[in-house]
Amino acid sequence: MRVLRIAKESFIALAAHKLRTFFMMAGTIVGIAALTTILAIGKGTEQRVMKRVESFGPRAMMVIAGGGKDLPPPDMNVTTLTLADAAAIRDEIEGLETVTPQAWRFNMDLKHGSHQSQAVVWGVEPPWHDAWNWYPAAGDGISDEDVATLARVCVIGTSVKRDLFDNADPIGQTLYVNKVALTVKGVLEHRGTGGMGGIADFDNRIIVPITTAMRRLMNVDYVGAIRVVTKDAAAMSAQAQAIRDLLHRRHHITPPQEDDFRIITPEVIAQLVRGTSRTLSLLLSGLAGLSLVVGGVVLMNILLISVSERTKEIGLRRAVGATRRDVFQQFLFESLSVSFLGMFLGSLLGGSLSLALARFTPLPAIISWEPFALAIGFALLVGTFFGVQPARRAASLHPVEALR
């Protein structure tokens, strides 16, 4: 009963000064909302990393033309990789399942009848289908004969099918890529969207024999990347180093010269994405922590002002039998009540913001139990730490002096 009476007195005091109570909890609301949102984004980013690694291929590597350390933007103007490099990797590196070069161009003009569109055109070899685990849903894929004869054939994505052929069957039909006529021999399985921002349309593409792409469509003698799939994921690091050493010899690169290629593995992708997410999370976590500290300081100062304003009330309570402990507990309970109410409202705000980010922006956000557990811990910490001093001051008031 004693605890219930103290709690009742605390709630009556808080309800009597609603605006002051709101200002006391404002910092906690902002801090908890920010913390909830940050953890939701972090959880979503982790899930996106795993999906990206899975879609990239847990046993796959990409040797990409051009130097540097970051993930490169695809650039077919870099001329440092050739078909001969791909053949050397295939012949000299042990334990590889698939090695297939790729050439591409973005935004190439497409036409069929009165329909026009643009898509990325990929020049590939037959192992491309196995390397990316991406096969025709209808018709046939690129064959060895297509590559050997520079065949004017293509396999299209579902977005290209929709844009150029509507609901008609495209197989056997002719489309034009930059005025070069190609016969559609297949339609790739639907893959949807993805990429760094989650907005790249994987199905807006055409694949053609790599010889056709290089000689008839792009007029180049180099490739943009080489897709490598290893038989054993555990051997990937050693194989990546072996490929690096091989290309150093072939390209005559000696230290301190910079590599003119990059080797991208699932671990590299995961580290880069996690690193970016970690930096953002640390920054936002610092801001959330600062908001909680500022909120706690505001709470403490407003409670100290409240103690001064309620001196006669405290003196009267002491005069009719309330102990110092009762007064101390009441003001500490008020501090904790404000903190936990701020925690509840902040969690609601943070959860709503996380759902809005996931729905209306490319940012991934997944709500889990962790931010709510942390919110309870922070509310308890802030309410206790910053509520002790006002509670002590209220409890230390002499009843006679307080009544004057």
Regarding predicted confidence, which is higher, 369 or 8? 369
In this prediction, residue 269 carries a pLDDT of 67
Q: Does the pTM exceed 0.85?
A: no
Whole-angstrom distance, CA of residue 121 vs CA of residue 372: 48
Q: Provide the domain limits for residue 168.
A: 60-231
The reported pLDDT for the residue numbered 229 is 92
Whether 258 is covered by a domain: the verdict is no
Residue found by looking up tokens 């440092």 in the block: 80
Query: Do residues 64 and 209 share a domain?
Result: yes
Task: Name 219's Cβ contacts closer than 8 Å, sequence gap at least 6.
Answer: none
Mean pLDDT of 377-391: 76
| Residues comprising the chain, all counted | 404
Identify whether 256 is preceded by a cis peptide bond (ω within 30 of 0).
yes
Which ranges in 310-323 belong to alpha helices (H)? 311-319
Q: Is residue 122 part of a domain?
A: yes
Domain-ending residue, one of 174, 203, 231: 231
* Higher-pLDDT residue of 15, 366: 366
What value does the mean pLDDT take over residues 213-220?
93
Query: What pLDDT does residue 194 have?
Result: 61
Answer yes or no: is 295 within a domain. yes
- Contact between 136 and 155 (Cβ < 8 Å): yes
Q: Is the pLDDT of residue 2 over 60?
A: no
Percent of residues, the chain, with pLDDT higher than 70: 78
Average pLDDT over residues 264-272: 74
Strand partners, 153: 183
pLDDT value, residue 197:
44
Q: Is residue 249 included in any domain, yes or no?
A: no
Question: SS3 for 379?
Answer: helix
Q: Are 222 and 315 part of one and the same domain?
A: no
Phi-psi region of 57 (alpha: psi -120 to 50; beta: other; left: phi over 0): left
Q: What is the pLDDT of residue 15?
A: 61
Which range has highest mean pLDDT (15-24, 243-252, 263-272, 297-306)?
243-252
Q: Note whether residue 261 is domain-resident.
A: no
What mean pLDDT is reported for the chain? 81
- pLDDT recorded at residue 294: 74
Nearest to 304 by CA among 388, 190, 183, 362: 388
Pair type for strands 180-188 and 136-139:
antiparallel
How many other β-carbons are positioned within 10 Å of the β-carbon of residue 181? 10
Say if 257 falls within a structural domain: no
> What are the b/e assignments for 260-280, b being 16+ CB within 10 Å?
bbbbbbbebbbeebeeebeee
User: Residue 220: its pLDDT value, please?
Assistant: 92
Spatial CA neighbour of 99 closest among 43, 48, 60: 60
Q: What's the average model confidence in pLDDT over 157-184?
A: 93
Confidence (pLDDT) at 268 = 73
Q: Can you give the pLDDT at residue 397?
A: 64
**How many domains does the structure of the chain reveal?**
2
Q: What is the pLDDT of residue 377?
A: 79
- CA end-to-end distance (rounded Å), the chain: 31
> Are 332 and 300 in a shared domain?
yes
| pLDDT above 60 (res 65) | yes
pLDDT at position 199 is: 47
Strand, helix or coil at 71? coil
Do 97 and 223 belong to one domain? yes
Q: Is the pLDDT of residue 242 over 70?
A: yes
Question: Which residue intervals of 150-235 are DSSP H helices?
Answer: 158-165, 210-212
Q: Are residues 137 and 161 in the same domain?
A: yes
Q: Identify whether residues 44 and 67 lie together within a single domain.
A: no
* 119-124-126 Cα angle (round to 5): 130
* Domain boundary residue, one of 181, 201, 231: 231
Do 217 and 77 lie in a common domain?
yes
**pLDDT value for 379:** 76
Flag whether 81 is in a domain.
yes
Distance CA 115, CA 173 (A): 13
* The pLDDT of residue 13 is above 60: no
Segment 28-55 mean pLDDT: 75
Quote the percentage of the chain above a pLDDT of 90.
Answer: 35
| Claim to verify: residue 43 and residue 103 sit in the same structural domain | no
Residues 384 and 343 in one domain: yes
Residue 290 has what pLDDT? 72
Cα-Cα-Cα-Cα torsion 276, 277, 278, 279, nearest 10 degrees, comes to 50
| Residue 321 pLDDT | 65
Unique residue bearing structure tokens 């489309």? 175
Out of 210, 231, 252, a domain closes at 231
pLDDT band with cut points at 50, 70 and 90 for residue 245: very high
**Residue 287: inside a domain, yes or no?**
yes
- pLDDT (mean) for 373-381: 77
Q: Are residues 69 and 217 both part of a single domain?
A: yes
Domain shared by 76 and 148, yes or no:
yes
Query: Does residue 303 share a domain with residue 222?
Result: no
